[in-house]
Amino acid sequence: METHDISVDGKFCDCDVVVDCKVGDPIPLEVKLTNWSKHSVGPFALTVTPYQDYQNGVHNYELHDAITFVGSNTFYIDSVKPTKNSVCFGALLFLYTGDFYLNIKFHEDNTSRELPLSWFCLPSVHIRAMEPVIQTKL
């Protein structure tokens, strides 16, 4: 059995959770993969791709003006040994308000080692970017 934990801004994510964040603040992203199989897996790459869901079957992946990554959106992992884990750290910066989703995909660099199937079933992460609250002095 292989497990994965995804957190955005320190909050654990699954398909039922909406993470609220502020426009203009870097939002930490963490993906932790645990290998419970009896053999090492890797090398492989993990890519995080943001999109908007228009609720009519259309996904918009052209979000270059709305979201930027602090660093890269692709993480290269050499291998994960049995019972060990690998953690990918990144950050997102939302430039506009709205509802966004993160699609997390794996790419095998070595076809002789199959990645655990459960890793291909990562949930889409739902993030709601909101305007920052402006504090006024009284």
Residue ranges of domains in the chain: 3-130
Q: What is the pLDDT of residue 2?
A: 45
Model pLDDT, residue 14: 67
What is the spatial distance between Cα 36 and Cα 33, in angstroms, rounded to a whole number? 10
Does CATH number 2.30.30.90 belong to domain 3-130? no
DSSP string computed for 118-132: GGGGPPPEEEEEEPP
pLDDT bracket for residue 5 (50, 70, 90): confident
Q: Which residues of 87-102 are buried (b: 16+ CB within 10 A; e: fewer)?
A: ebebbbbbeeeeebeb
* pLDDT beyond 90 at 55: no
Look up the pTM and report it.
0.80
**pLDDT tens digits along 75-88:** 998 888 988 989 99
Return d(Cα 61, Cα 94) in angstroms, integer: 14
Residue 53 reports pLDDT greater than 50: yes
Q: Quote the CA–CA distance of 60 and 58 in Å, as a whole number.
A: 7
